[in-house]
Amino acid sequence: MSDAYLAISNFMDQGGNVLYLIAALTFLMWTMIFERMWYFQAEHGNVIRHASQAWEERPERRSWSAHQIRDALISEASDKITGSLPLIQTCVMLCPLLGLLGTVTGMITVFDAMATQGGNARSMAAGVSQATIPTMSGMVASLSGVLGSTFIKRKVDFEVELFEDHLTTDH
């Protein structure tokens, strides 16, 4: 266990402070992805059941006002189904940008080493490492988030369409 901690600590030190931001953003992103998965397992049925029941209790479903109520029920359910998906997608897009921020800060370290030590290869190596590790980390975090957010997006789209089709206007 301590070997893993030392390896992670060494990796974070080599990549610079931006890696902590990428790690926090990745943790937040995956927490929200797991929350959406939990929602579909535990809460989704209740949301659909409640909205369907409200619609089925209506005595008529063909008037203009009935269609407005149907649209409102669909909109409310859609908001609950979608949940934090837009924020998840924002996190996916921010990960590579934070990686680029780490690249810039690492290159500043390289240029500083070149200016102060005349291009000493050993001092420049730390800056190059600090420039490449955040870029790689941001891309890996983003790719993992793309997988999770694509799964959630497909599930959201399917469930919203299914719910719209479930609320019939007959009667």
**pLDDT (tens digit, 9 = 90+) per residue, 62-102?**
899 999 999 999 999 999 999 999 999 999 999 999 999 98
Q: What percent of the chain has pLDDT over 90?
A: 63
Q: Could you tell me if residue 73 is inside a domain?
A: yes
Widest Cα–Cα separation across the chain? 84
pTM value?
0.86
Does residue 171 form part of some domain? no
Of residues 105 and 50, more confidence is placed in: 50
Contact 21, 94 (CB under 8 A): no
Q: Is residue 21 part of a domain?
A: yes
105-133: average pLDDT: 78
Distance CA 149, CA 157 (A): 12
User: What is the domain extent for residue 111?
Assistant: 2-166
- What sections of 43-168 are H helices per DSSP? 44-56, 64-82, 85-117, 121-166
Considering its fold, how many domains does the chain have in total? 1
Q: Is residue 19 part of a domain?
A: yes
Question: H or E element: which one contains 21?
Answer: helix 18-42
- In this predicted structure, the answer to whether residue 149 has a pLDDT above a threshold of 80 is yes
